[in-house]
A and B are shown apart, each in its own frame.
Chain A
Amino acid sequence: VTVGRSDGRTAAALLGLIILATVWPSGRLAAQDSQFGIRGLGTPGKLESVRARTTGGAFAPFDAFSPLTDAVLADVRRMSASFTSGASWRSIDASGVQSSLRGTRFPAMVIAGPVTRRIVVGGGFSTYLDRSFGVVINDTIDLRGVQQPITDAITSDGAIADLRIAVAARLHSRLALGLGLHRITGSTRVNATRSFADTANYRTSTARDEVAYGATGGSASLLFDVTSDLRVAGWFRTDSRLRADVGGHTVAENDLPLTYGTGLQWRAGAQASVAGSLTWRNWGAVQSIANAHDTFNWSVGAEIGSPASPFRFGLRGGQLPFGVGKTPTEVGYSAGLGRQFSGGRGRLDIGLERLQRSGTGLNERVWTFLLGLTVRP
């Protein structure tokens, strides 16, 4: 590919890669895992493209390729698709026990295109809750009067994805409305194994199953241009109860939170933008989980430089919904670069994110390398 070449073949090939990525196994459609989610419904995904993520998430309400809001799809002027991936390296300190984990995820994909001059339809997937984790427990139990060393391994591999179809309409030159319909679906392959040190007398016990999840939701959002340089966004989302089925039988139903938020973006000239956003989610309404907390998250970020190759950075903070005792907190720093190619038909975004999560008895530190691709065939 040569910069400036505009035949679109490279972009089409990359679109193919994106489509391939959409059929990747569901277990990979996850965001970053966290040990905080093990005792809850999971770890909420970040509904952000690489562009938005490298600004701390602040640009998500104003970025058409972040599946956070629907109204911003109105900005899409031609058929486009965006794909996000991230590779994470996570270190955990659980009451002095340290371990290192890693994983690669494909947390979001958005494809959108205008139907009419004022109406844009879009869709895609994102991670709603990540449920990939594994814990190993070493213990000694009394069996038949003998102290017997055992090892338990409980693993879950998979995620709950949010499939979205959305429509955005520009009601006025300054006002856009977006509505979205969400199907929350996914599955996890779960495995519980107990093995014994005395393999001569005790057999390993292994239980395997697949848990299927399902729920539906709806979202609405508004995008208002206060001036040509100042934008305000607001969004709201509600979901039905999340059903968990094993072998065709419902084993659990859990409430999902209401989500609402607001954001502000200011274009400080042709080569600089600053944004901030606030999000609330009432996870505390999940009655079945003892240690569920309402969360509030904030973010600020900036994009500097030419639109063809901007530099971005951001800061985020807030809370995680599940954790014993006080609400776990999360602080993140991120930065990244973007680069257009093929005459603007494609854009490659890379970024690096550092997250620190802390709660009662657990601290996590995460480095994530982000790679995003947007194409306009």
Chain B
Amino acid sequence: VTRQLAFLFLLAAAACTEQVTAPASCPNFCPTDSIAIRDTIFTTIIERDSSFRGYVPSYGAEAMSVADLPGIVDSRAFFVLSKAATRVTVKTGDTTTTPIIPDSVRFRLSIVGRDTLATNLRIRLYHVPITSDSSSTFASLDAAFNGPVVDSVNVSALLASPAFIDTVQADSLERRFYGDTTYRDGGGHILAVRDSGRILDLYFHLDTVQAPVVEADSGQLGFGVRVAADSLASIALGTNEAGRPPFLQRFFHHTIPDTVSTQPDSSVSGNQTQTPLFDSFVFDPPSPALDSNLAVGGVPAARALLRVAMPAFLHDSIDVVRATLILVPVSAVQGAPSDSFRVLARPVLADLGAKSPLGTNSTQYGSTAIHIGGSDTVNIELTNLVRAWSLDTTMATAFILGQVPEATSYTEIRFYSSRAPTVRPGLHVTYVKRFRFGEP
């Protein structure tokens, strides 16, 4: 009997499984209430919107824009390399130095952005004053950029030449992973394709005239870069901020005097590297002054602060399933297609105007791509952010629009603000009304 009882209870326990959900046969056999959805464009919900400029300067950007787009922009990059030793100590513990004798220079520029449809893309190197700094302008550097060309290379021709594969590196992990390839030309230029073609490392071979060692300048050098092409002449160069700055490696030798060494008159070889103390770019025409519209981008970077007046019912009686910010551009952004960029909407932790601290919860960000030449209405999905506002009434209901990456380009987009009644920013919210539980 015990076994029989145990069996029965085990049977009962095993049967303790639930499946009570079935396809509905509505309305006759469904709850009286149903899940109701509403879709509303709130045209006046965004208010007290403003733009502010000066967040990121050109010398703090992750890239330097170099472009020559007639009628649109002429952008030029420049940088000043760090000081370099012009003399070397020949014996440890001895203060006696001897001058170095420069032999050659290997100089690298990293092209981190370009238009792959550009043809006959040429990069030209100029000397610029080592006093160039953040106060330098397009006009103040114009003379230097119209001076003698230090070196010039045709990137398109390099890319069209037969690929060169270093047999030592041919089977390296990096090559197998990224498919890196190297190209050479007769002028000593080497083009190394990195990161599946997204980055081009361009190496120049410079002589002592092109990259002189001037003792009075403590070995400092200033270079400027211009670009030309049949069309779409626009590239971005890596900077210190992005970890891929211009890089100079100087090879030299010196002779040990017979008075200080057991190896008199012997020749010793060496090399030293220089990276930029300062890198930036200038362009013409400059970013226009702020006006009543919402400016995003440009240099120094402009951001727009938009405040949202959330209706009470969006806080407590609904569930937001989609929220889209609607922005109408004032005009299409001009430039090369490769200069397309993203606009990122980030919540503010507290509304302190231009200096509002930004939220770091990336799940609440919204972004969209701004394509050069496009003038369509811009939509940015802000579902997670608006859901968070709906649930947490203590959150600041404001967000900031910024360019990504900031200040790396002359490009800037302007949207109509709340001052333009017919084309002001709006918020398109799709929400589910609270289900009425408890009613039959």
Contacts and interface: CB of A to CB of B under 8 A. Distances in A.
Interface string A78-111: 0000000101000010110101111110000000
B15 A211 contact: no
Given A33-B20, A101-B19, A205-B319, A192 B438 contact: no
Contacts of A207: 319, 432, 434-435, 437
A20 to B, nearest CB: 11
Contacts, number: 172
A152 interface: yes
Nearest to A244: B438
B166 interface: no
B42 to A, nearest CB: 14
B267 interface: no
A252 B33 CA distance: 13
A143 B29 CA distance: 26
B32 to A, nearest CB: 6
Interface string B3-17: 001001101100111
A289 interface: yes
A94 B26 CA distance: 10
> Quick one: which of B23, B29, B383, B428 has the most chain A CB within 10 A?
B29
B180 interface: no
Given A87-B12, A203-B383, A348-B8, A154 B31 contact: yes
22 contacts: A2-B1, A14-B5, A35-B22, A39-B27, A85-B12, A87-B16, A97-B25, A100-B19, A132-B20, A135-B26, A135-B30, A137-B23, A192-B35, A194-B432, A201-B322, A201-B381, A204-B321, A205-B432, A251-B436, A350-B8, A360-B28, A371-B11
Contact of A39 (B16, B20, B31, B432): B31
A155 B37 CA distance: 18
B111 to A, nearest CB: 33
A167 B9 CA distance: 31
B136 to A, nearest CB: 46
Given A39-B30, A324-B28, A143 B440 contact: no
Contact of A194 (B15, B20, B32, B321): B321
B320 A101 contact: no
Given A92-B22, A103-B19, A104-B12, A361 B437 contact: no
B28 A39 contact: yes
Interface of B: 1-2, 5, 8-9, 11-12, 15-32, 34-35, 37, 39, 319-322, 381, 383-384, 387, 428, 430, 432, 434-440
A322 to B, nearest CB: 8
A137 B322 contact: no
Contacts of A190: 435, 437-438
Given A3-B1, A144-B39, A133 B20 contact: yes
Nearest to A370: B12
A330 B59 CA distance: 83
Contact of A36 (B2, B23, B27, B29): B29
Given A251-B436, A369-B11, 16 more contacts: A1-B2, A38-B30, A39-B31, A87-B12, A92-B22, A103-B18, A104-B16, A141-B37, A154-B35, A190-B438, A202-B321, A203-B321, A207-B434, A207-B437, A211-B437, A362-B28
A149 interface: no
Interface string A241-277: 0001110000110100000000000000000000000
A201 B22 CA distance: 27
Given A94-B29, A211-B437, A152 B35 contact: yes
A185 to B, nearest CB: 15
A33 B21 CA distance: 11
Contacts of B436: 251
Contact of B23 (A94, A156, A369): A94
A135 B28 contact: no
Contact of A196 (B2, B34, B321): B321
B128 to A, nearest CB: 48
Contacts of B2: 1, 10
Contacts of A33: 20
Contact of B438 (A3, A251, A350, A361): A251
A8 interface: no
B13 to A, nearest CB: 9
Given A137-B26, A246-B437, A194 B1 contact: no
Contacts of A100: 19
B254 to A, nearest CB: 64
B440 A254 contact: yes
B24 A136 contact: yes
A16 interface: no
> Quick one: which of B23, B28, B321 has the most chain A CB within 10 A?
B28
A374 B438 CA distance: 36
Interface in A307-355: 323-324, 341, 348, 350
A341 B29 CA distance: 45
A18 to B, nearest CB: 12
Contacts of B437: 190, 192, 207, 209, 211, 246, 251
A203 B322 contact: yes
A140 interface: no
Given A2-B1, A207-B435, A157 B321 contact: no
